[in-house]
Amino acid sequence: MNNIVLISAASILGFTACKGPAQKGAPAVPPTPVNIAEASVAPAVYYDKYPATVVALNQVELRSQVSGFITGIFFKEGEVVQKGKTLYEIDRRKYEAAYLQAQANVASARATFERAKKDDDRYQRLAEQDAVARQILDNAKATLETSRSQLAAAEANLSAVRTDLDYSLIKAPFTGRIGISQVKLGAQVSPGTTLLNTISSENPIGVDFVVTENDISRFAAMQGSKASDSTFRLQLSDGTEFVHAGKILAIDRGVDNQTGTIRVRIEFSNPDDRLKDGMSCVLRVLNEQSGERLIIPYKAITEQMGEYFVFIAKDSVAAQQKVHLGPRIGDRIVIMDGIQAGDKVITEGFQRLRDGGKIQIGIPAAPTGAPAKK
């Protein structure tokens, strides 16, 4: 009798356990509230940045070619000097004396040559009449050749001392800005060793930067074609933009074996003298992918194991979509492929979403159709 009672109790409990969940029911998961923004095509202008250095296109160190004492300085330090302007004078007295002596030597040698030439002509006529010994005629010719050589030597010496006299005045080789003088009045200078000053051109001016060998073809193509005014832009060290556009002036002859880079030089107009030789700056080069591009807010991007995804709102369901990213432009980013223009990208609330999850769209985020520039 006891066994029968136990079995009945167990049956009742089992029946109750099976029936309870069916009556209670699982609670439904509410949709996730999200915000969206529409993916749209807009002008995307972005630049690649390179550290760069301003360089003078023409720069010369002024050194004396003759020795002596500085007797004159004829410029104001830091000013623009014109080509041919006399900058320094080295004591000229001994060079002027040497020049005068050389002139006298040329005159003496020329007189000797003229006399020898007349003697040769005279003995030549007498020899035709057989009225002079052959030896005398030969001596006259030898004397003529000797005097000719002496005249040539005197003229060469005159040219040399004239050069030394000219070198005693140091002149600007081109129009440019001269620096602070390295010597003062009365200083003694030695030929080829004493640095007097440095002069450099300013307008136009160059900007040097380096690129990897993989980018050589890109910049070579820019050099061969006419670049637009927006291709090269310069940002100065204080953050301001240089208003004038640049163009490729030269690509170096070879790649550096140690760094695998090559130097490129951009030429800029510099009428206001804002760019100074040696300045550091950032060169911005227009990326060739600039143009009409698909743009979405950057905050819509999620990363999973090195791959990038966005959630697309499809009615009341979120669909996860893999995308390939382009350059980031401020708070937005270019999408190269993976979604279409007009897709509603979820920008807020996707952290709790899974592919196929239910969503409830709230207030849409700001549109992304405005032109983007960086």
Q: What is the number of residues in the chain?
A: 374
Long-range CB pairs of 88-94 (<8 Å, 24+ gap) are 88/62, 88/64, 88/169, 88/170, 88/183, 88/196, 88/197, 89/168, 89/169, 89/170, 90/64, 90/66, 90/167, 90/168, 90/169, 90/170, 90/189, 91/168, 92/165, 92/168, 92/169, 94/68
- pTM of this structure: 0.62
pLDDT in tens, the chain (374 residues): 344 443 444 444 444 444 444 445 556 668 888 888 888 888 777 788 899 999 999 999 999 999 999 999 999 999 999 999 999 999 999 999 999 999 999 999 889 888 888 877 776 777 777 776 778 777 878 888 888 888 899 999 999 999 999 999 999 999 999 999 999 999 999 998 999 999 999 889 999 999 988 888 888 888 766 655 678 888 898 888 898 888 888 889 888 888 888 999 999 988 888 898 889 999 988 877 667 788 889 888 888 888 899 898 888 888 888 998 887 877 888 888 888 888 888 888 888 778 888 888 875 555 555 554 55
From CA 209, how far away is CA 281, in angstroms rounded?
Answer: 10
Tell me, what's the pLDDT at 283?
A: 92
Q: What residues are paired with 265 via a beta bridge?
A: 208, 250
Tell me, what's the pLDDT at 225?
A: 66
Closest Cα to residue 179, out of 204, 203, 197? Answer: 197
From CA 286, how far away is CA 114, in angstroms rounded?
Answer: 74
From CA 179, how far away is CA 201, in angstroms rounded?
Answer: 11
From CA 356, how far away is CA 338, in angstroms rounded?
Answer: 17
Residue 168: how many other CB atoms lie within 10 Å: 23
Closest Cα to residue 351, out of 301, 316, 314? Answer: 301
